[in-house]
Amino acid sequence: MTERTNDQNTCDQELMEKSAGPSADAVTVAEKPSRRKFLGASALAGIAGASTALVGELAAPPRAEAATSMPEDYVAPGKLDEYYGIWSGGQSGQVRILGIPSMRELIRIPVFNVDFGIGWGITNESKRVLGKDFPLGGDTHHPHFSQTDGHYDGRYIFINDKANSRVARIRCDVMRTDKIITIPNTQAIHGLRVQRVPRTGYVFCCNEFRVPHPNDGRDLNDPKKYFTLYTAIDGDTMNIAWQVHVDGNLDNTDADYEGKYSAATCYNSEGAINAAGMMRNERDWVVVFNIKRIEQAVKRGHYKTIGDSKVPVVDGRHGSDLTLYVPVPKSPHGINASPDGKYVTANGKLSPTVTVMSWAKIDDWFAGKLKKPRDVVVAEPQLGIGPLHTTYDGRGNAYTTLFIDSQIVKWNIDDAIKHYQGQKVNYIRQKLDVAYQPGHNNSSMGESRDADGKWLVSLNKFSKDRFLPVGPLHPDNDQLIDISGEKMKLVADASVWCEPHDCTIVHRRVLFNKVKRIWKRGDPFFAETAAMAKKDGVTLEKDNKVIRDGNKVRVYMTSTAPTFGLEEFTVKKDNEVTVTVTNIDTIEDLSHGFCMANYGINFEISPQETASVTFVADKPGVHWFYCTFFCHALHLEMRSRMLVEA
């Protein structure tokens, strides 16, 4: 095998430092008058029904004419993308990394799911992260990077599991999940966001579904005794710092750029248990959390615990000095802080408006300078039907998804504020059709101080007529949009396995030099396995040994292309066998695999990594194990035997 040089594997340093923007023009999808007319006549009261009906009315937008030059998303062979895109994997329970602008999928990171490719949920190392009796699967929604002083710092990615009320942390240096915790006293962790200043710090997450406290079988049919909690996790230790008892159902969350506050959208002020009841009131609220006051309350012991949990829970319901409840149109959804540190927006969902709140006015509220919670609102622009999420370009413009209208709307924050103050100004800059029903959107570097206004991705829930048919279950459609100029330009469609839900886009300079190409010996990910080897007197990097300890057998071997360190090993039926493999190759990209035929065992071992698996040898006979990663011209010959005596 020929080893690539560092020069071949690294990108042009000049390109690394420069942010080369989109160049070629793209054709904007034309507006469809019939659809606009139909939507303009739609009644807001019937918005939920209109959503379903509308999907059947959509026609394919006109296609772009043949390009006369390379498209903007073209990345030539041997060249690297300018951005990393971190996508949630939705019901797959994983996280995916894409290159932008190419929209090429680079890798999938298993988090809450079992993955036979790398052995996640199969190896001992991954099972230690997943925990005992881990649920098989998850529902990932919101991936967010750790930050320092409002800048992405390339340390961690945090992701939620709505299905099983968990939060996970992914190490960016190896793109491997290293911590997973279950959030007590909750059901369905949905919104998740990180503290930006001074650093992450806290990871904030929303408990969406209200349940009794404790949820142990009592109060089953008394919704008045159902509650929800807002949780702060210490991102460094992955221990829970505190929880806040709030009114309503929490949805999404974000934080400011000074480390003072976080905020969450909250619906179901009615305390109902069905959809009709949850939409009865005309207003719900945004809850703002005063972090310093909450910390002081915990320090002073002004909290309770729930059930067996030792986590301090403070009271942040209406009337508490720890929180501020800002009335907004009913059922708000996304909440997004602007990169200039001035504002936070709550998206209306069932209202055509987005509510813009000022962090400075929130300061004034907690200082007692304002009379009404709504006094923190500085604008409420009307954008269209079904606003869900907003992102920013760093130039004073916001971009909001309109789920029912199937559009991205670009609007100017300062002009929206002027309009709210009574001036006659047009704050809407452009509306761009997308295909179809967009949920989240995200701009390049848009959740940090470094928003650069180059690219925007619209994550659309429907894709009918955009791709070759593949059966009743359609792919989702993530569309790449150029926002570098005055006008948004649709550049590309990208089919994706459903349902990605949300993404974060970071420039490669944040991660490129922090991502390891080869594992470092002594890495904490396999430290526990190394400790067991040391106890057995085994040097992982060179020894190939079988240790017998009663009914337990520990097999240590190396792998180097194209051989395993042991040609065979023998065990007895029903022995508990632990196989530990260390890849001693030092060539980048030279992974090996270990697959035991007919045992449901397969895992990957990257260069200099150690991985292990424990199983019961319950099938007498000859069992071949083989390498699953094509590593050498003699790859097919890289196999050995496990002999199981009856």
Residues 148-204 have pLDDT tens digits of 999 999 999 999 999 999 999 999 999 999 999 999 999 999 999 999 999 999 999
Residue 568 in contact with residue 556, Cβ under 8 Å?
Answer: no
Integer CA distances (angstroms), 286 to 15, 265, 368, 411, 570, in order: 42, 5, 19, 22, 64
What CATH class does 526-645 carry?
mainly beta
Q: How many other C-beta atoms are found inside a 10 Å radius of the C-beta of residue 325?
A: 21
Angle at the Cα of 427 (from 425 to 431), degrees rounded to 5?
A: 135
d(CA 553, CA 548): 5
pLDDT higher than threshold 90 for residue 61: no
Residue 525 in contact with residue 178, Cβ under 8 Å?
Answer: yes
Average pLDDT over residues 230-242: 98
The residues, ordered by sequence, that sit 6+ positions from 451 with a Cβ below 8 Å of its Cβ are 339, 392, 393, 394, 443, 444, 445
In the chain, pLDDT over 70 holds for what percent of residues? 89
Average pLDDT over residues 531-546: 97
Integer CA distances (angstroms), 369 to 359, 366, 445, in order: 14, 8, 34
Provide the pLDDT for residue 71.
76
Average pLDDT over residues 254-281: 95
Average pLDDT over residues 616-625: 97
The residues, ordered by sequence, that sit 6+ positions from 301 with a Cβ below 8 Å of its Cβ are none
Q: Where are the domains of the chain?
A: 526-645
Report DSSP state, residue 342. S
Provide the pLDDT for residue 136.
87
Provide the pLDDT for residue 5.
40
Provide the pLDDT for residue 69.
66
Q: How many other C-beta atoms are found inside a 10 Å radius of the C-beta of residue 7?
A: 7
Residue 121 in contact with residue 128, Cβ under 8 Å?
Answer: no
pLDDT tens, residue by residue, 285-336:
999 999 999 999 999 999 999 999 999 999 999 999 999 999 999 999 999 9
- Provide the token pair at 499: 């349902």
3-state SS assignment for residue 155: strand
The residues, ordered by sequence, that sit 6+ positions from 639 with a Cβ below 8 Å of its Cβ are 564, 624, 625, 626, 627
Integer CA distances (angstroms), 619 to 623, 627, 639, in order: 9, 21, 19
Quick one: which H or E segment has residue 8?
Answer: helix 6-9
- Provide the token pair at 346: 């709550």
Amino acid making up residue 208: E
Provide the pLDDT for residue 68.
52
> 501-540: b or e for each residue (b if 16 or more CB lie within 10 Å)?
bbbbbbbbbbbeeeeeebbeeebebbeebbebbeeeebeb
3-state SS assignment for residue 40: helix
In the chain, pLDDT over 90 holds for what percent of residues? 87
Provide the pLDDT for residue 31.
37
pLDDT tens, residue by residue, 453-478:
999 999 999 999 999 999 999 999 99
Provide the pLDDT for residue 73.
85
pLDDT tens, residue by residue, 339-386:
999 999 999 999 999 999 999 999 999 999 999 999 999 999 999 999
Q: Dihedral sign for Cα 560, 561, 565, 569, please.
A: positive
| Mean pLDDT, all residues of the chain | 90
The owner of tokens 């994550």 is 459
Q: What band does 498 get if pLDDT is binned at 50, 70 and 90? A: confident
The owner of tokens 């509650």 is 227
Q: What band does 21 get if pLDDT is binned at 50, 70 and 90? A: very low
3-state SS assignment for residue 625: strand
Provide the pLDDT for residue 8.
36
pLDDT higher than threshold 60 for residue 100: yes
3-state SS assignment for residue 236: coil
Nearest to 413 by CA among 334, 343, 518, 331: 343
